Amino acid sequence: MFNWAKQTLANVAGTQEPIYGPSAIKSVALEAETTSYTELKRDDLKWLAMDSTSVETQVFYFFAENGQVALAQIIYSNVAGIRTTCQFNCKVFSTDPTKPHLWCSTPLKNVELSDDKNNFYADDCAVELSEDGASYTIKSMNDERAVVNLKITRSTPGFHAGQSGKTLFGTDPANPWGTMRHAFWPRCTAEGTVSVKEGPIDFKGRALFIHALQGMKPHHAAATWNFVDFQGPTHSAIMMAFTTPPSYGTTTVTVGGIVKDGEIIMAGCSNSATHTAVKGDTMNDWPEPTEVKFAWSGNTKDGKHVTAVAEGALGERSDRVDVMAEVPGFVKKIVAGAAGTKPYIYQYHPKLALKLKIGEEEEIVEEGTMFMEATFISDPNSSE
């Protein structure tokens, strides 16, 4: 009961959690040992809109045929069950290194969810899932600097890891006090525009969709993150990896998959994300990655073993985001009082190759565009 009381205080006040150790986390990888992944149905994409501390997001990544890269995101956040706030974010990465990226982050008013919890509405903003569960439309006129009118359509099934997709936090797995879940549409076609000051940008091309739930304070759930989205002519590869703070045993959970049009080749939790070379960032002392290796491992439905690797130099970063300076005020409240918390996101989108081996078939080597994020929130090896 004493640990539970300390954890409840941490939830409300943002203070550091006690050290529970690895026994207080049930990784989705345990489910994936028997059910590596589950294909998503329409109901699996409902907004949960929790009434306790949580951050829930739907984020869409766009890779246009013309070389433009962008993201659009809805964030639904609850702070200690006291206040709910929502935000629409849009980022258009500049193709000119001498010009800044376009970043728009707008608080949303009069938020509503559809009766089935699949559609999100607010003043001048709508994100809707089609009746057949195969496409999303994203529309926003909240910021005249970036008027969004986009649509993505699945070209392969969606998935989450294991049966439930959930990693559970807490000393009693039957009554967890925290949850982490990521659901993916790993390969989509995109169409539509983002209208900026200079005119509309055509985003015909590829897209990735992720519905994510952090059902606890984000800095309690994870100390570091690695995210990669590889989009090639015929294959896509995605990975989401996080490492917990010492309070949960510095445990790493990695979800990923390899797909091609119409088919999930493999998906599950037997993957790894490694920074093979780093350099110190003088601004904040984080070890900024300069070279990476992402590795996937699993089996096809018919039992063929699959391995894949994407590795190499990242080149110049696209951006470095000081989260506490950029994100909405409600996130600042969530992490307030957390010792050692200084979240930064490093973003890159290099050209790299995916090397894919399926059973005894000849290795496939495919060049593509990668979007990669390395996020540092706190030192996973420090309990200070």
- In this prediction, residue 335 carries a pLDDT of 52
Give the model confidence (pLDDT) of 151-206 as tens digits: 999 999 999 999 999 999 999 888 999 999 999 999 999 999 999 999 999 999 99
- In this prediction, residue 40 carries a pLDDT of 98
- In this prediction, residue 77 carries a pLDDT of 85
- In this prediction, residue 325 carries a pLDDT of 72
- In this prediction, residue 13 carries a pLDDT of 41
Weakest mean pLDDT among 4-18, 33-47, 162-176, 358-372: 4-18
Q: How far is CA 96 from CA 11, 312, 342, in A?
A: 42, 23, 29
Nearest alpha carbon to residue 230 among 258, 268, 271: 258
**What ranges make up the beta strands (E) of 2-134?**
25-26, 37-39, 54-64, 69-79, 83-92, 102-107, 112-113, 120-122, 125-129
- In this prediction, residue 341 carries a pLDDT of 64
Contact 80, 53 (CB under 8 A): yes
> Which of the two residues, 145 and 98, has the higher pLDDT score?
145
- In this prediction, residue 19 carries a pLDDT of 86
Mean pLDDT, the chain, as a whole number?
A: 89
pLDDT at 324 over 80: no
Strand 344-348 relative to strand 305-313, pairing: unpaired
Going by pLDDT thresholds of 50, 70 and 90, the confidence category of residue 45 is: very high
pTM (global) more than 0.85? yes
- In this prediction, residue 331 carries a pLDDT of 53
- In this prediction, residue 198 carries a pLDDT of 93
Give the model confidence (pLDDT) of 325-349 as tens digits: 755 554 555 554 554 567 889 999 9
- In this prediction, residue 343 carries a pLDDT of 84
Nearest alpha carbon to residue 375 among 270, 222, 179, 169: 222
Give the model confidence (pLDDT) of 244-301 as tens digits: 999 999 999 999 999 999 999 999 999 999 999 999 888 888 999 999 999 999 999 9
Going by pLDDT thresholds of 50, 70 and 90, the confidence category of residue 16 is: low
By percentage, how much of the chain surpasses pLDDT 90? 75
- In this prediction, residue 69 carries a pLDDT of 95
- In this prediction, residue 216 carries a pLDDT of 83
- In this prediction, residue 150 carries a pLDDT of 98
pLDDT at 358 over 70: yes
List, in order, residues 6 or more apart from 207 with CB less than 8 Å away.
60, 61, 62, 63, 152, 188, 189, 190
Contact 366, 233 (CB under 8 A): yes
- Collapsing DSSP to helix, strand or coil, 323 comes out as helix
Going by pLDDT thresholds of 50, 70 and 90, the confidence category of residue 89 is: very high
Calculate mean pLDDT across residues 6-31. 71
> Which of the two residues, 12 and 380, has the higher pLDDT score?
380
> Which of the two residues, 56 and 60, has the higher pLDDT score?
60
- In this prediction, residue 342 carries a pLDDT of 78
- In this prediction, residue 384 carries a pLDDT of 47
pLDDT at 99 over 50: yes
- Collapsing DSSP to helix, strand or coil, 130 comes out as coil
Nearest alpha carbon to residue 63 among 243, 190, 253, 172: 190
Contact 121, 112 (CB under 8 A): yes
List, in order, residues 6 or more apart from 214 with CB less than 8 Å away.
54, 55, 56, 179, 180, 221, 222
Residue 62's DSSP bridge partners are 70, 207
Q: 125-137: buried (b, 16+ CB within 10 Å) or exposed (e) per residue?
A: bebbbeeebbbbb
Calculate mean pLDDT across residues 228-235. 96
Weakest mean pLDDT among 20-34, 140-154, 316-330, 342-356: 316-330
pLDDT at 134 over 60: yes
